[in-house]
Chain A
Amino acid sequence: MSRRLPSQPGEVIDRERSIEFTFDGRPHRGYAGDTIASALLAAGVTVLSRSFKYHRPRGVMTAGFLDPGATVQVDDEPNVRGAHRRIEPGMVVRSQNRWPSLGFDVFAANDLVGRFLTAGFYYKTFIRPQRLWPIYDSILTRFAAGGEVSGDAPHAYYDKRYVHPDVVVAGGGLAGMTAALAAGEAGASVLLVEEEYELGGMSRYDPAGLERLSSLRKAIADRPEIEVMTNSVVTARYDDNWVAILQRGLPDVHERLVKARAKSLVVAPGLIERPFVFDGNDLPGVMLSTGVRRLINLWAVRPGMRAVVMTANDSGDAAIRDLERAGVEIGHVVDARQGGMLVRAGGRKSGVRWVEVDGGRRIRCDLVVTAVGWTAPTALLNMAGDRPVYDPRAARFFPSRLPDGVFATGWIAGDGSDDELADHAAAVGHEAARVAIQIGRSWQAARPWAAPVDPAAGLEGREPPVLDRHSHPELYRSSTHGVIDFSEDVTSKDILAAAAEGYDSIELVKRFTTATMGPNQGKLETVNAVAMLAEARAQTIADVGTTVWRPPYAPITLGALGGRTWEPVRVSPMHSWHVARGAVPLVAGQWIRPEHYGNPLREVATVRSGVGIIDVTPLGKLDLRGPDVPRLLNLVYVNKWSNLPVGGVRYGVMCAEDGVILDDGVTGRLGQDHYLMTTTSSGAATVWEWIENWLQTEHPDWQVHVTPVTTGFASMNVAGPRSRDLLQRLVSDIDLSPESFPYMAVRQGSIAGVDCFMWRIGFTGELSFELHVPAGFGLHVWEALFESGADLGVGPFGVEAQRIMRLEKGHFIVGQDTDGLMQGYSAGLEWMIKLDKPDFAGKPELVWQSTTDSNRLVAIQPIDHLVVPPEASQIMDGPHAVGRVTSSRFSPTLGRSICLGVVPPHLSIPGTIITIRLPNRTDAQARIMEHHAHFDPEGSRLRV
């Protein structure tokens, strides 16, 4: 039977737009603006979910964001707040946490043994024996509540936004709206955030307040400096009013995490109606007064046919009027202000059937409404450092001492008439704006280029009036016991049991019972839990205090926290060419490089026998200028640089202060005071910072300017015995002969019509030329090289081929063959380290190391030519692991396996046979070689 009422003055449904959806496979129809819960209840569906632990049937209780009885699965999204989420055409809604169906749930057997499942049951039962934990885990996981996420679920669009309003107002009720208006009128930019879909708070479902609400809404809409976010929640407040806001319902954006740097924060969340604890208080049909008022006034849904109302305040009285207007028979009114008491309720799965009031009288009903008091949602104030204080006369907590820049207004701050609350909110909004504007002016004045700003100038302060605190009876529990935490199925008996077990702190009780730890995070439950502990310990609620409310105020999806995946990638100017040739990508830091083009061994052969080209654009490049560059190079490299001639190139290794190898590369002298330094690809940023650190902190007097130009150049290495032949076809203004352009020299000229730097260096061990051309022309030059060298058999080679060839030559890679402990001498750099230099980074440590025996990086060749020990294989000395293989490959050039590795001094002598432990726990014998280079140790192929 439909429960839809005739049109209500403040209803939010559009009766012209009918929407079809399904719930547990059955078709239903609602109106645009309906929530899932309101549409289902209008259709007569009273049970929407099963409870967390006991699988008791649950229905609508608050008909709002916090309703614990309407958690459902929507399409592929679990744990949706069904009393908040609006229906959409074609929406597939399913109940969750039940099997096989909502009506017949096998797990409801838990309810029959509920007395054995009290607080601490799991901790005590499944603690021993420890060896069964995996079994316990697998079983208990099946009982876990929650919906299902399909592995095929499409990734929804989540993103973030950074905003910097002067004032954030958390809560869009009358007080929040008034404060926002006042702040806007004072000249502040304002972000007004409301959890519901419309501004108005409780006044939305108070027919008497609709006119005032309409006026306020229009005033706000007319002020462009006020941005309104509805269906959004301020979920956290951090230091300096860094405020996190979760925004929902945006077109094409599932959820957005808004990060607001507010100068002032106004907290105006209103109050949350508190459930009453009695036997049967979780039956479908037991609702809060605000819940029935929402249903009637916002969605025109009659919540029941015959109601019993327990009221202790105006909200309960108003609910009675609304119910009567909606045609609901009022079976009985329990006026708690007159000492009346609701004792227990009973019924069936579909809902409540009767209540028992004081005196033992049972009354038939299908709706029980309670209005017994309020919880002040002080979470944001707690996060700001406030410790709210309980006032027994008003039966709720109030803010105590707010930090600078944080304000509270509305019901959370006190009671009063609409006009009194509006006056308070207006004054608070004005003061928040004053503070914000003053902060903003001080920031503007701090800018180095700012026009003069008087930070002291600004608005005059306005002291908010003091709000009254109306008396309210303290009503938490009846003479019977009931549910306290509807999300976690924690009862008042559980709290008493915890207290009996010695948990005397509400923080401990919370964790022992899990009360307040469900999706609502205590907003319906905290004060009742505190009251129960106070009762158990014969203390006052003020003595017990509250739990600490930490972020987030409302649960946030992982998608919203993650937002868009901004993981920058870097590509070279020749990237499109690589992709077109089917290069296998290698992710190297942020760079996407070609690992190989199909067959790295063939690429090696191409370079060794003819000519190959590799894209080395990621090599770090620093432009160094100034007369003191040699001093800088002498400082950061372990070798000497004073006599590097113009046109010369030198290899260098950098060590940190502890003598550990930091980076390596070559630096060429392009002009009298002009150098180009290259670094490893991964070390570019580190070296830049390292150099700037030395220049700015230790030697600011040196005349050196450093400019990173890594991506200013497309870099390519043309390697192989035919490389000179190829380049001669494209270069006319550089004499490439070995006499004019010897090994370790740099020349400037042009190639394929493009200016370039050309270095005669090489990592592969072959005659090779490294070209650096302006990046925009990189693809032009690259294509010209391949076009010109087609008859030479030129081919591209990737990082893998380069790694094979460098290992054949015994060149170490910083970070692979070295680690965070390897000092210069361990890498075999005796020939390079010049301790006779006056000073250089790492010298004291290297002086010490030169006098000691330490581990050594050595070339290793397994006795069995076909055994390639995986990198990081352990090198054994008897039963002890004493070293490791740092690099290993099968060398196509030598037809055998080759390695670099680190061994202790006594195993580093050439000819020593060592043992390498393989992953299959077998051992392989290997020989220590005389040179790092396995191939062409004399370097004759380089110098042709």
Chain B
Amino acid sequence: MSDGTRKTPVARSPIHPPDPTEVDRGWIVSRRESDAPVRLSDASPTVKVVVKSDRSRFDLAYGRARWEHQRLVIGSSPGEWTIIGPPGEPLGSDALEAVDAVDITHGRALVRLTGEAAPRVLEKVCAIDLSEPMCPNLAAFRASVANVVTDVVRDDREGTRSYLLSCERSSGQFLFDAILDAGAEFGIDVEGFQVWCSPDARSGAASDL
């Protein structure tokens, strides 16, 4: 064995992390802080599993999402659910038994867009009606965002509009850059990896993987 095997494997997000960075739970993440009115953060290190089943095991309709403890369960398409949880924590559970669960952690880029003007930012790159009646909190849909096929979940944070956007990993940096471009007029800024938790559990810690 050469030195190459002795190095601890380090996972990298598809989105270049701005300084300062550190390695946590095997991922290089940014610790950049921002108090901008609209913030974009990379949440790609989260564990992501897609579950397919002919029967609903989650009692959750397509187009809706629900927090279960620290996991976000999304009805991502008919007969398909996506579960997102904290980095490094396996998502195995009774609900995943006897169904096809495929780990897509490394296959999807995930970003979070937060701020009162977040809908205005998305309006520039996404044609979906983001109004409250049509897209309430925890609504989920798949749409073109800057011409990238993207899964969108509205997941408000402490009463502030927030959206999770997930796309194929290979387009992650493009999507990230496109949202930054769209958000420039609203003062968008990049912030580091945010603690992954349900809104109820958010403690206010800046970032704690």
Q: Which of A729, A752, A788 interacts with B9 by CB under 8 Å?
A: A752
How many Å from the CB of A198 to the closest CB on chain B? 22
Please report the C-alpha to C-alpha distance between residue A115 and residue B182 in the assembled complex, in whole angstroms.
54
Contact assessment for B184 and A571 in the assembled complex, using a CB-CB cutoff below 8 Å: no
Known interface pairs A250-B185, A752-B5, A776-B106; A447-B168 also in contact (CB < 8 Å): no
Please report the C-alpha to C-alpha distance between residue A778 and residue B185 in the assembled complex, in whole angstroms.
35
Residue of A nearest to B16 (CB): A576
Contact assessment for A775 and B124 in the assembled complex, using a CB-CB cutoff below 8 Å: no
The reply to whether the CB of A787 lies closer than 8 angstroms to some CB of chain B is yes
Contact assessment for A449 and B52 in the assembled complex, using a CB-CB cutoff below 8 Å: no
B residues less than 8 Å from A259 (CB atoms): 127
Please report the C-alpha to C-alpha distance between residue A883 and residue B29 in the assembled complex, in whole angstroms.
56
A residues less than 8 Å from B107 (CB atoms): 709-713, 775
Contact assessment for A713 and B9 in the assembled complex, using a CB-CB cutoff below 8 Å: no
B residues less than 8 Å from A572 (CB atoms): 170
How many Å from the CB of B160 to the closest CB on chain A? 17
Contact assessment for B168 and A784 in the assembled complex, using a CB-CB cutoff below 8 Å: no
B residues less than 8 Å from A567 (CB atoms): 147
- Count of chain A residues with Cβ under 8 Å from any Cβ of B? 61
Residue of A nearest to B79 (CB): A705
A residues less than 8 Å from B50 (CB atoms): 707
How many Å from the CB of A741 to the closest CB on chain B? 19
Chief secondary structure at chain A's binding surface? mixed
Contact assessment for A568 and B147 in the assembled complex, using a CB-CB cutoff below 8 Å: yes
The reply to whether the CB of A753 lies closer than 8 angstroms to some CB of chain B is yes
Please report the C-alpha to C-alpha distance between residue A443 and residue B52 in the assembled complex, in whole angstroms.
28
Contact with B along A709-735 (1 / 0, CB 8 A): 111110000000000000001101000
The reply to whether the CB of A440 lies closer than 8 angstroms to some CB of chain B is yes
The reply to whether the CB of B158 lies closer than 8 angstroms to some CB of chain A is no
The reply to whether the CB of A364 lies closer than 8 angstroms to some CB of chain B is no
Contact assessment for B11 and A159 in the assembled complex, using a CB-CB cutoff below 8 Å: no
Contact assessment for B146 and A162 in the assembled complex, using a CB-CB cutoff below 8 Å: no
Contact with A along B1-33 (1 / 0, CB 8 A): 111110111111110000000000001000000
Known interface pairs A711-B107, A730-B2, A730-B4; A162-B168 also in contact (CB < 8 Å): no
Give the segment of B35-43, B61-69, B110-118, B195-203 that binds chain A: B61-69
B residues less than 8 Å from A709 (CB atoms): 102, 104, 107
B residues less than 8 Å from A163 (CB atoms): 123
Contact assessment for B174 and A161 in the assembled complex, using a CB-CB cutoff below 8 Å: no
A residues less than 8 Å from B170 (CB atoms): 570-572, 591, 617-618, 710-711
Residue of A nearest to B54 (CB): A703
Known interface pairs A448-B61, A788-B4; A189-B131 also in contact (CB < 8 Å): yes
- Contacting B at CB under 8 A, from A779-798, are 779-781, 783-785, 787-788
Please report the C-alpha to C-alpha distance between residue A712 and residue B44 in the assembled complex, in whole angstroms.
12
Residue of B nearest to A626 (CB): B100
Please report the C-alpha to C-alpha distance between residue A707 and residue B76 in the assembled complex, in whole angstroms.
13
Contact with B along A137-169 (1 / 0, CB 8 A): 000000000000000000000011111100000
Contact assessment for A713 and B133 in the assembled complex, using a CB-CB cutoff below 8 Å: no
Please report the C-alpha to C-alpha distance between residue A710 and residue B146 in the assembled complex, in whole angstroms.
21
The reply to whether the CB of B162 lies closer than 8 angstroms to some CB of chain A is no
Contact assessment for B106 and A732 in the assembled complex, using a CB-CB cutoff below 8 Å: no
- Contacting B at CB under 8 A, from A548-594, are 564, 566-573, 590-591
A residues less than 8 Å from B124 (CB atoms): 159-162, 564
Contact assessment for A774 and B174 in the assembled complex, using a CB-CB cutoff below 8 Å: no
The reply to whether the CB of A879 lies closer than 8 angstroms to some CB of chain B is no
The reply to whether the CB of A430 lies closer than 8 angstroms to some CB of chain B is no
- Contacting B at CB under 8 A, from A81-116, are none
Of A163, A566, A590, A625, chain B has the most CB atoms within 10 Å of the CB of: A566
Please report the C-alpha to C-alpha distance between residue A625 and residue B98 in the assembled complex, in whole angstroms.
12
Residue of B nearest to A165 (CB): B131
How many Å from the CB of A561 to the closest CB on chain B? 15
The reply to whether the CB of A777 lies closer than 8 angstroms to some CB of chain B is yes
Residue of A nearest to B147 (CB): A566
Contact assessment for B123 and A753 in the assembled complex, using a CB-CB cutoff below 8 Å: no
Known interface pairs A161-B123, A164-B134, A572-B170; A705-B52 also in contact (CB < 8 Å): yes
How many Å from the CB of A379 to the closest CB on chain B? 24
Contact assessment for B181 and A564 in the assembled complex, using a CB-CB cutoff below 8 Å: yes
- Contacting B at CB under 8 A, from A6-32, are none
Known interface pairs A729-B2, A775-B169, A784-B5; A566-B146 also in contact (CB < 8 Å): yes
Q: Which of A444, A705, A712, A784 interacts with B4 by CB under 8 Å?
A: A784
B residues less than 8 Å from A573 (CB atoms): 12, 14, 169
Q: Which of B4, B9, B63, B185 interacts with A253 by CB under 8 Å?
A: B185
The reply to whether the CB of A754 lies closer than 8 angstroms to some CB of chain B is yes
How many Å from the CB of B169 to the closest CB on chain A? 4
How many Å from the CB of A487 to the closest CB on chain B? 33
Please report the C-alpha to C-alpha distance between residue A18 and residue B164 in the assembled complex, in whole angstroms.
48
The reply to whether the CB of A623 lies closer than 8 angstroms to some CB of chain B is yes
Contact assessment for A568 and B106 in the assembled complex, using a CB-CB cutoff below 8 Å: no
Contact with A along B161-187 (1 / 0, CB 8 A): 000000011110111001001101100
The reply to whether the CB of B148 lies closer than 8 angstroms to some CB of chain A is yes
A residues less than 8 Å from B14 (CB atoms): 571, 573, 775
Known interface pairs A162-B127, A449-B61; A568-B1 also in contact (CB < 8 Å): no
Residue of A nearest to B14 (CB): A573
A residues less than 8 Å from B9 (CB atoms): 752-754, 777, 780-781
How many Å from the CB of B34 to the closest CB on chain A? 20
CB within 8 Å of B: which residues of A?
A: 159-164, 189, 250-253, 259, 261, 440, 443-444, 447-449, 564, 566-573, 590-591, 617-618, 623, 625-626, 705, 707, 709-713, 729-730, 732, 752-754, 774-781, 783-785, 787-788
26 contacts between A and B (CB under 8 A): A162-B123, A189-B131, A250-B185, A252-B184, A253-B185, A261-B129, A444-B133, A444-B134, A564-B124, A567-B147, A568-B171, A571-B14, A573-B14, A573-B169, A707-B52, A709-B104, A712-B103, A713-B107, A732-B1, A752-B4, A752-B7, A774-B106, A776-B27, A776-B106, A777-B10, A788-B4
CB within 8 Å of A: which residues of B?
A: 1-5, 7-14, 27, 44-45, 50, 52, 61-64, 75, 100, 102-108, 123-131, 133-134, 146-148, 168-171, 173-175, 178, 181-182, 184-185
The 7 A-B pairs with the shortest beta carbon distances in the complex, nearest first, are A712-B107, A776-B11, A784-B4, A570-B170, A164-B129, A774-B106, A711-B169
12 more A-B residue pairs beyond the given contacts A709-B104, A730-B2, A776-B13, with a C-beta to C-beta distance below 8 A:
A161-B123, A261-B129, A444-B134, A564-B124, A564-B178, A568-B146, A570-B171, A623-B102, A710-B168, A712-B103, A752-B9, A774-B105
